[in-house]
Amino acid sequence: MSLRLLRILWVVTRYRLDTLIPFERLPALLRLAFRLSPLRLFPTRGHSRGQRLRLALESLGPVFIKFGQMLSTRRDLLPPDIADELKRLQDQVPPFPGDQARALIEDELERTIDECFAEFDTAPMASASIAQVHAARLHTGEAVVVKVIRPRIEHVMRQDISLMYAFAHLLKRVPEARRLRPVEVVADYEATLFDELDLRKEAANTSQLKRNFKHSPLLYVPAIHWPLTRQRVMVQERICGIPVADMEQLAEQGTDLRKLAERGVEIFFTQVFRDNFFHADMHPGNIFVSRENPDDPQYIAIDCGIVGSLTREDQDYLARNLLAFFHQDYYEVALLHIESGWVGEGTRANEFAAAIRAVCEPILERPLKEISFGQVLLGLFQTARRFHMEVQPQLVLLQKTLLNIEGLGRQLYPDLDLWTTARPYLERWMKDRAGPRGFWASLQKQAPELSQQLPELPALAYQALSRADSDLRQRRQQAEAMTRLDQQLARAGRSGRRLRLGLLILALALAWQPLAAWAQEQPWPVLAAAALGLVLLAWR
């Protein structure tokens, strides 16, 4: 791990990433330290700052490339030159040799390329952080793409994850950072990241997503060719669409960008709330737009390696929180957070509601182009710190996906009103969930299990009554035993008092003459105190 850390420091130095730090915002001593740093002796090699950042992330491997991909969707938070360069990380990562990919495919399929495909293009179509894609054609004539995992990638990923764990454990020692639950967040990220190394899981996710949107005008998912899919190789239907980030082509074919942006929001909420199965890696490199019906545009989704789902409780809390935000009912938001245990038990709902209102009120009912999400997030983090709110690791993927969707909407149609678009869908979902239709659907879903349990109900009822009767008898026996024990203790106490009184009388009798002589010489307060002591001793 120390070698990997040295490697990271070397890449940071080589590409002079220190120049990306806004020195004017640093304290005077730090500004002086950076000016005197030996890093300034290294040249920038004529690359722009965006190129240097992109090249550094590419050099450091898949974990850092994933981070760059996420950043590339947030053009509102980045200068244009950096955003343009990071955009290339979505599908323009340097490929590994095509001959090596061919050998990997043959080794995984245990067959030659010619036996599997009528045509196979050794030059990759696209290359990403974890895998690259080659065009091919099956012997049946169907055009497909072949995705193959990069060689020796798992070792580097494990080193990076180890560094992230080490950093997370350091953060846990900082009281302000402990509520962020850094170790749990890294563990969640590790699980999702390593799932991408098994293309069978991605193929299964893709098939599930395709079923969820079967015949849907919103989203098309290309089919998987299962006979040629293995752990490190996946064969999928080839699609022909326009990359969602290619605004020129979208405008050239007359795409309805407003409807496209609104459908992106609808797809997100449909996946999260209707299906509870959402594509969690929706950066522009994985999203295309169909060339058919530009007036009624349809998305095409690929690369389902990372998906997410929520528990029923998290779904309900999330929906109720969002609806409360849409209705500007901040007191309800505060109550939901307290009820779910996301903030401290002693939190006062009215104070928490006032703090949330101060952050969120300025952004509601405004188009995306007028919202500074950087400032909003900063305000929410400050509010969370004040009320000791903990990060929920199970929602990290969802938050990442929502950021991707928001960045996509900002790029496609900046005038999109995110809240107005999402509110009707959520209201309809909650009505269906809690109304008669939702009750009937739940009853239908549980009907097979209930039908199996119904014949057993008399026996189960008899067993329950028998257990209740047995418990009642046991409680009565315990009560009787406690009563007997109390009586025994009371008798023992009375017997002890009689024994002490007898011993005291016997002792007084034996010592009567010396005591009588002593008593004649003492004043009455001493005699009264001695008598009181004898009474208390006898009473005890």
Residue of 49, 94, 96, 86 whose CA lies nearest to 66: 86
Q: Which tokens sit at 30?
A: 């730090």
Distance CA 44, CA 13 (A): 10
Distance CA 328, CA 275 (A): 27
Pairing of strands 299-301, 219-220: parallel
The count of C-alpha atoms lying within 13 angstroms of the C-alpha of 144, restricted to the half-sphere facing its C-beta, is 25
**Annotated binding residues:** 125-133, 147
Residue of 75, 67, 70 whose CA lies nearest to 286: 70
Catalytic residue (one of 188, 281, 295, 314): 281
Q: Identity (one letter) of the amino acid at 517? A: A
Q: Are 418 and 406 in contact (CB under 8 A)?
A: yes
Distance CA 257, CA 263 (A): 10
**In degrees to the nearest 10, what's the CA dihedral of 155, 157, 159, 161?**
-150
**Annotated binding residues for ATP:** 125-133, 147
Which of 195-210 are b and which e, b meaning 16 or more Cβ less than 10 Å from the residue's Cβ? ebbbbebbbbbbeebb
Distances in whole angstroms, Cα of residue 127 to Cα of each of 132, 146, 226: 4, 12, 22
Q: Is 275 a catalytic residue?
A: no
Distance CA 278, CA 195 (A): 15
Q: Are 185 and 393 in contact (CB under 8 A)?
A: yes
Q: Which tokens sit at 243?
A: 């990359």
Residue of 91, 135, 85 whose CA lies nearest to 286: 91
Phi-psi region of 292 (alpha: psi -120 to 50; beta: other; left: phi over 0): beta
Classify burial at 370, counting beta carbons within 10 Å of its beta carbon; exposed 0-12, middle 13-18, buried 19 or more. Answer: exposed
List active site positions. Answer: 281
